Homo-oligomer: A and B are copies of this chain.
Amino acid sequence: MEVDRTLRLLWRRALGTPQGSRGPKQRISVDKVITAAIAVADEEGLPAFSMRKVADRLGMKLMSIYTYVPGRSELIGLMVDEVAGEQDLSPHEGDIRLRVGRVAEQLWDEYHRHPWLLQVESSRPWIGPNGSDRYEWQLAAIEGAGLTDLEMDQVVTLISDFTAGAARTSIMSRRTSEESGMSDAQWWEINAPVLDQVMPPGRYPISGRVGTAAGEEYNALGDPQRLFRFGLDRILDGIETLLKRNGHL
């Protein structure tokens, strides 16, 4: 079963080398394949990520990659767990606000370092060593704060979901300015004639006002970092409210 093989690849370090194979030794290693694959995805994004490009980068031919990993989607699973291992999981310090904040910021950084993470659409969420270690570390941030086990899982999910959503917005806006090959000014210049015709003054009273305010404060496209911070602070307030209600804090 391919599931089994992929799982063994995920936990390859814990399982040790699978001695005694007959044919010629592999020229490179799964780790090299994964590293090259991550580099390709970092540079070009997941849609443009292809087995051919991974092979090229390694100086091998396309079909050889398939002796290292079962296929494209399994390789992506391996990449996801690999980058989950880049984080610093040193013991938590400070009050719960700081701890939980750090959990969120770590995810935020990871998404920005590897924007393709948000394009991953696995049909099976692989359980890998780095993902498992991180989940344990995330829970440790709120261990002993007075939450039930169920609430602990829910809080970590809340933080993860919000951060993923905010990072998605941030990355899409970044892609917009980088990759569209068009400055904001140019874009508005092209669109203005149509939009002026179709959005007469007064048609959007609130968004007109709010959009202007927001546009002036953070410039035009929104300041994703600041939006993230605002949302995170509200969520931390909400978590503190829950702790108070539970009789802690």
- Indicate if the CB atoms of A194 and B8 lie closer than 8 Å: yes
What are the residues of chain B within 8 A of A238 when measuring CB–CB?
233-239, 241
- Indicate if the CB atoms of A7 and B194 lie closer than 8 Å: yes
- Indicate if the CB atoms of B172 and A121 lie closer than 8 Å: yes
Given A152-B210, A161-B169, A207-B136, A191 and B234 touching (CB < 8 A)?
no
- Indicate if the CB atoms of A198 and B129 lie closer than 8 Å: yes
Is A227 interfacial (CB-CB < 8 Å)? yes
Is A199 interfacial (CB-CB < 8 Å)? yes
Interface residue tally of chain A, by bracket? 35 or more
Q: A164 → chain B, closest Cβ, in Å?
A: 4
Given A165-B165, A210-B149, A237-B237, A124 and B194 touching (CB < 8 A)?
no
Q: A8 → chain B, closest Cβ, in Å?
A: 6
- Indicate if the CB atoms of B154 and A230 lie closer than 8 Å: yes
Q: A4 → chain B, closest Cβ, in Å?
A: 6
Q: A144 → chain B, closest Cβ, in Å?
A: 10
Q: A65 → chain B, closest Cβ, in Å?
A: 21
Q: Roughly how many angstroms separate A157 CA and B148 CA in the complex, as a whole number?
A: 29
For residue A152, which residue of chain B has the nearest CB?
B210
What are the residues of chain B within 8 A of A214 when measuring CB–CB?
149-150, 153
Is A135 interfacial (CB-CB < 8 Å)? yes
- Residue interface bits A215-231, CB-to-B below 8 A is 1, else 0: 00100001000010011
Q: A2 → chain B, closest Cβ, in Å?
A: 10
Highest count of chain B CB atoms <10 Å: which of A155, A162, A205, A211: A162
Q: A90 → chain B, closest Cβ, in Å?
A: 16
> Which A residues, 162 to 203, have Cβ-Cβ distances below 8 Å to chain B?
162-166, 168-169, 172-173, 175-176, 179-180, 182, 187, 190-191, 194-195, 197-199
Given A150-B214, A197-B15, A237-B238, A161 and B166 touching (CB < 8 A)?
yes
List 16 A-B residue pairs with CB atoms under 8 Å apart, sorted by A's residue number: A3-B187, A15-B194, A15-B197, A119-B121, A132-B199, A139-B206, A143-B206, A151-B230, A154-B227, A158-B234, A161-B227, A163-B165, A164-B168, A235-B235, A235-B238, A238-B241
